[in-house]
Structure 1
């Protein structure tokens, strides 16, 4: 079970802490703005997209989508995060729930054009990620995409190198993405690095099959 208490306490200073790490190009949020920017541009390619954000936090990305006429849904396990996000998005459909146990009932029977998760899904074990992602792709409309922005690496060796360099700053409670291993369950998953420790993962659904057909533009790289 995810612990919402720590995130409730951190909520008011969350954006500042993330921004400092990004500006310093330091683990874990190096590349944060580029990660969110790529996902934002992808979602904006579809007018009035219906978007589900898993672990939306204070709504940094989701608010921008909301302001650009997306139909926003979200689930987070921190009530304080939800309160802060709801102030920015009065008509968004935001619910509290531990996503390690799946989607809450208000979200589970809906279909979405995009399901996104930024710096939240590393709280799941590798086994939980695979099970949860399969359930999420079932909730995508045809041609829909699962977009994950997070601390992520192409190989296990790259992760271990980052762990060694981060030393005492490395968070042993977080379980980061290794694309070589994720592709065992999702062969079509694509990875677009945005820093030495982050990137965007894309899994696309076509005719009920999860594949990736995304060809990156130069500005995305």
Structure 2
């Protein structure tokens, strides 16, 4: 798993690397553009909402929401990726920090119409996911939504099928969403599958 320095070093080529994986329909980014498009369209279905992006990277998704008039807040632990995103979104409120250690106090003191995260929360272990999700759900406005785009599966059987298909390329240091298991503790959680290894996990407040 990449640490902060690794993500800094990868920042310049990140978008290209993701695009190559998506174009060739390979793990882990098969379906990437469609995942982002689904989240983008759902956010804009409510006009120009306030959006918190956790692990925004170079701002691929949130810069599009920003350009559409959304008010953007975010946290990422790579200073170099943050700088790239801030250049695209000069008025966005972006903070540097490791979300596995919690949100920046400025972000944790606000409420949002949408909280989004793409290809970041798989760095949380299965035991960390539930308390983290429960905590950020408290930051949603009434009727707000949490939208997570990531390597994700409806069931453990789907995950194991994908693991077998990927073989040696599987990343054992990442922890992917298994939605029917999370839904036991978060009733109302839904999942829209996009590719054999990706989808959108959602929850309405």
Deviation at 1:48, TM superposition (A): 2.0
SS at match of 2:48: coil
Deviation at 1:140, TM superposition (A): 0.3
SS at match of 1:13: helix
Residue equivalent to 1:211: none
Residue equivalent to 2:38: 38
Residue equivalent to 1:159: 159
The Cα offsets for residues 124-160 of structure 1, whole Å up to 9 and x where unpaired, read as 0112111111111100000000000000011111111
**Whole-Å separation in 1 of the counterparts to 2:63 and 2:146:** 18
- 1:82-97 paired onto structure 2 within 5 Å: 82-97=82-97
Residue equivalent to 1:199: 199
SS at match of 1:142: strand
SS at match of 1:64: helix
**Whole-Å separation in 2 of the counterparts to 1:185 and 1:64:** 33
Give the TM-score normalised by structure 1: 0.91
**Whole-Å separation in 1 of the counterparts to 2:140 and 2:164:** 38
The Cα offsets for residues 9-61 of structure 1, whole Å up to 9 and x where unpaired, read as 11110000000000101100000011000000000011220000000000000
1:72 paired with 2:52, answer no
Residue equivalent to 1:208: none
Residue equivalent to 1:109: 109
Deviation at 1:3, TM superposition (A): 2.2
The Cα offsets for residues 189-219 of structure 1, whole Å up to 9 and x where unpaired, read as 11000001100011000xxxxxxxxxxxxxx
- 1:1-221 paired onto structure 2 within 5 Å: 3-205=3-205
**Whole-Å separation in 1 of the counterparts to 2:121 and 2:74:** 14
SS at match of 1:72: strand
**Whole-Å separation in 2 of the counterparts to 1:89 and 1:141:** 23
Query: Which shifted more, 178-187 or 17-26?
Result: 178-187
SS at match of 2:151: strand
**Whole-Å separation in 2 of the counterparts to 1:101 and 1:147:** 20
What runs of 5+ residues in structure 1 fail to find an aligned partner?
206-221
CA-based RMSD: 1.1
Deviation at 1:117, TM superposition (A): 0.4
**Whole-Å separation in 2 of the counterparts to 1:48 and 1:193:** 26
